[in-house]
Chains A and B, each alone.
Chain A
Amino acid sequence: MSAAIITSGLSRSFDGCVAVDSLDLEVQAGEVLALLGPNGAGKTTTVRLLNGVLTPDSGGATVLGMDPNVDGDEVRRRTGVLTEAAGLDDRLTARENLEFTARMRGFTVAEARLRVDTQLDRFGMQSMAEYRTVGFSTGQKKRLALARSLLHDPEILFLDEPTSGLDPAATRDVTDLIGSLAREHGRTVLLATHFLGEAGRIADRMAVLDHGRLLAIGRPEDLAAELWDGTPAEIDLGEPATDATMSIVGQVEGVAGLEAGATGLTVALHDREAMARVLAALAAAGTSVYGASIRRASMEDVYFALEDSSLQRVAP
């Protein structure tokens, strides 16, 4: 795999307020990278920098082997962007909005029409095609904007909150589409989003920004291994674990840590075998176990752990 996007020391501030701070990022071709972070973290600014819409103060980026600051138009020819606001001209119809973009991307009138039809069909907007977008719902506008970003089959897709405002079915469809674009068609996707569950389902790796700084980048399981000593496992005892139970489990070999919960306890395990030993120890002590499962850290777990640790780093 080669890198589709590389940034090194990418920085940009507005009136002294740093929006993106020495960002070092590498996105592989054909990968879906979830770009996460709280409001104002710098996600949108990063997309604008990568597409040559903003100029960095320092550092730089390579997108498809080109510097977006130098060959901006060539980069933009090969990327597709879904901006935060749908950015449709309400005085034009759905079709006119899309056909304009197709013409801007160099397609002939006939081909523009064909491509627009394909995308309108794909996003279930064909019946709305001849209406002005002024009365469209948030989700309908989002679908059109998504359709527009795919008109030219871009090699890289920058998607800024693609599913916000979509209904559950449309969210699932768009999520599936993004996954298939990357897996079956080799497109690279940079997915800026606040929906961690959905990002976890389609993204290969996650990058977490905060105050413009990259807190971490990697596969959720790798980041989890760095964050926590051991893999968390839930043990259901039907009632809060007693001190006696806690001390029994604490002495089992391979248990890195433990915490009592409302219906049992959570243990951090160094390896899978430790789970068997914990269950054996509990059985020997005559404690009833109603359930036990190893919990793989989700993107959500990792995200909040990173956010918490960054708060601690910033606060004192």
Chain B
Amino acid sequence: MTIGTPLAAPTRPVGRSSRPFGVDWPVVSAVIARDLRAVRRSKAVVVPMMLVPFLLLVVLPLLVGLAARQASSPNGTISFIDSLPAALADPIANLPPDQQLLTLVLGYFLAPLFLIVPLMVSAVLAADAFAGEKERHTMETLLHLPITDRDLFIAKFLTGFLPAVAVSWIGFTAFAIVANGVSWGIVDGLIVPNGLWLVVIFWVAPAVATLGLGIMVRVSARSRTTQEANQLGGAVILPLIFLAVGQATGLLLVDLSVALAIGAAVWVIGLLLVWRGAARFTRDRIAGNP
């Protein structure tokens, strides 16, 4: 070790003058870039983040689609359609019988299930970003750097939010290819995207990601380790997932206006939780509750 002499004068970069929304974006993006780089190398985070969307958005629609293709008698479908909400039943009932099942399952049934993806991705990443940082003792280092409490929170929020939305949209693209591919030659035109799916991916999915983050920010503040946060968070999030699965069979979401309203409600709850989390995210609280 040859320590030598230090640099001559204290040099500090001058304060950046432009701060859109009062946020120091270079610093915020430095945190996000570091977190995502670290996460990419963490199997415990990456595997569930890739596997669940793959099963849900590629394997499941493929199996369901192939099974629906094989279904020889469409009679069962027709009687089921009678019990659907009118808004959905009409477009489907008007289809030729052999197209009804595929359209119903791929175009509508899977939409609520899809929401598990943004929920899970944001929750897993938030646990790593908030509780994991404490567990690795890197939070203390961050607190001693020139970043405001609010900017640090924004960085941590986006670390969960951006990948959750990105994975959802990429996953949806894969799903669209599978869904349309598997119904090729049977259903006229494309099954997805339809109006419902557009609402789900652009409106409800980001809302659900926000909700997942809001829950995990709260839970992480009370946990010492990522595992603890994931367990606690799972206890809150699993019922939400069952609710989503329940929705799939109850088909509450099929009506566009209902989907929009549910999305709005999730946004409100999610943002409220995030807002409260942000208010409690202060250096003093973080350093004072190791």
Query: A residues bordering B, Cβ < 8 Å?
Result: 14, 48, 51-55, 72-74, 76-79, 81, 83, 85-92, 96, 100-101, 103-107, 118, 121-124, 132, 143, 148, 150, 152-155, 169-170, 173-174, 176-177, 180-181, 184-185, 187
Nearest B residue to A158 via CB reads B144
In the assembled complex, B19 has its CB within 8 A of some CB on chain A: no
A-B contact pairs, 13 of them (CB 8 A): A53-B140, A53-B287, A76-B144, A83-B140, A87-B136, A89-B138, A101-B141, A103-B26, A104-B27, A106-B27, A123-B1, A124-B2, A154-B10
Q: Which of B145-153, B182-190, B252-260 has 4 or more CB atoms under 8 Å from chain A?
A: B145-153
Nearest B residue to A77 via CB reads B146
For A150, what are the chain B residues with a Cβ–Cβ distance below 8 Å? Answer: 6
B1 close to A89 (CB less than 8 A): no
A104 close to B147 (CB less than 8 A): yes
A88 close to B6 (CB less than 8 A): no
A106 close to B13 (CB less than 8 A): yes
Nearest B residue to A112 via CB reads B30
For A174, what are the chain B residues with a Cβ–Cβ distance below 8 Å? Answer: 3
B31 close to A122 (CB less than 8 A): no
**Cα of A212 to Cα of B101 in the assembled complex, Å:** 73
Nearest A residue to B149 via CB reads A72
Known contacts A53-B140, A174-B3; 15 additional CB pairs below 8 A are A52-B283, A54-B288, A55-B283, A73-B147, A73-B148, A76-B146, A77-B12, A83-B144, A87-B141, A91-B41, A91-B42, A104-B145, A152-B12, A176-B3, A181-B6
For B136, what are the chain A residues with a Cβ–Cβ distance below 8 Å? Answer: 87, 89-90
Query: B residues bordering A, Cβ < 8 Å?
Result: 1-13, 16, 26-27, 30-31, 34, 37-38, 41-42, 136-141, 143-148, 283-284, 287-288
A73 close to B2 (CB less than 8 A): no
For A106, what are the chain B residues with a Cβ–Cβ distance below 8 Å? Answer: 12-13, 16, 26-27, 146
For A155, what are the chain B residues with a Cβ–Cβ distance below 8 Å? Answer: 10
A104 close to B31 (CB less than 8 A): yes
**Cα of A52 to Cα of B283 in the assembled complex, Å:** 8
**Cα of A155 to Cα of B136 in the assembled complex, Å:** 28
For A176, what are the chain B residues with a Cβ–Cβ distance below 8 Å? Answer: 3
For B10, what are the chain A residues with a Cβ–Cβ distance below 8 Å? Answer: 78, 152-155, 187
**Cα of A108 to Cα of B173 in the assembled complex, Å:** 36
Given A53-B144, A153-B10, A173-B138 contact (CB < 8 Å):
no
For B138, what are the chain A residues with a Cβ–Cβ distance below 8 Å? Answer: 87-89
Least Cβ–Cβ distance between B51 and chain A, in angstroms = 20
Least Cβ–Cβ distance between B117 and chain A, in angstroms = 24
B7 close to A107 (CB less than 8 A): no
For A118, what are the chain B residues with a Cβ–Cβ distance below 8 Å? Answer: 7
Least Cβ–Cβ distance between A92 and chain B, in angstroms = 6
Nearest A residue to B136 via CB reads A89
B145 close to A76 (CB less than 8 A): yes
For A14, what are the chain B residues with a Cβ–Cβ distance below 8 Å? Answer: 288
Nearest B residue to A148 via CB reads B141
**Cα of A104 to Cα of B5 in the assembled complex, Å:** 24
B31 close to A107 (CB less than 8 A): no
